[in-house]
Structure 1
Amino acid sequence: MDADSISPVGFVAAQLAIVVAVIHLSLGVLNWIRWARAGFIIPRDLRWPVFVLTGLLIVLGLFLAAAGRYRRPLYAGGIVLMAGYIFGYFAWHLTGHRPLLLFGAGHLHRGPLLPFLIDHLFAGPVESLALASEFALLVLLGYLLVTELG
């Protein structure tokens, strides 16, 4: 596949990657600004710098893929990142919203797991859009990784 051609699946994957990047960059920057206004250059909640960094990595990956470079490694990296987003979302909630990801004060979840997961799956429009986009992108990147040569 040359750099000027893109499959319909690749086009949809690129659009989903833009959605995921915008969500994470927006949340990361806006919440990091809130922490900075409170006097913390390094926020006490590590999600925000991680969101900014990974959002920028997605943008970089889009530019590299558009140039026709490193597509298979980019697909593999995108799969890992999307799985990390999905796993991280539920793990962060299950471990009690700890500001330092696994460390710091938190409120552990108690009660049945399935209602908890369903409740957080549909927690709000941004969360639902992010999770659906991340999952769809993960699937499409897996498809592209398996089907594209080179």
Structure 2
Amino acid sequence: MADDYQMQQINGDQIGTIQKPLLELYVKASGIENRRIGACLFCQEFWMELYALYEIGVVRVEVKTVNINSEAFKKSFLGAQPPIMVENKNATYTDNREIEGRIFHLAKEFNVPLFEKDPVVEKRIESLYRVSLFYFPTYSFIFL
């Protein structure tokens, strides 16, 4: 399946494959244990999206947990807060929109349907919503 997503470069008559981009995702370390991913929802979301791209062989991914209070981290990223994504050691994305935009671009570039709606799942969620409104009519404002 990974071969289906190999990006190919055409140079005249030669066809070669381009090396997969290396994406380093710096995430906030857990307050309990410095090696685990913390409770940052954006860090976890980007990790799952990048892992999906890694799993099909489109990109290489490294996830690094960081202590945001360390001087080395503050000097390296000029005080930016995680999540931070570095692509091929030269492009740094510190804003959540930039990171998500780059992930969207990579998925589109390799024709990976990473962010497409699944009609079956959508119908099940709508059905669950309707049933929950039936059983919990006084709490319907929570779901809106």
TM-score computed with the length of structure 1 as normaliser:
0.29
Tell me which protein shows more strand as a share of its residues: 2
Higher RCO structure, 1 or 2 (CA under 8 Å, sep 6+): 1
| Greater Cα radius of gyration, structure 1 or 2 | 2
Looking at secondary structure, tell me which structure has more helix per residue.
1
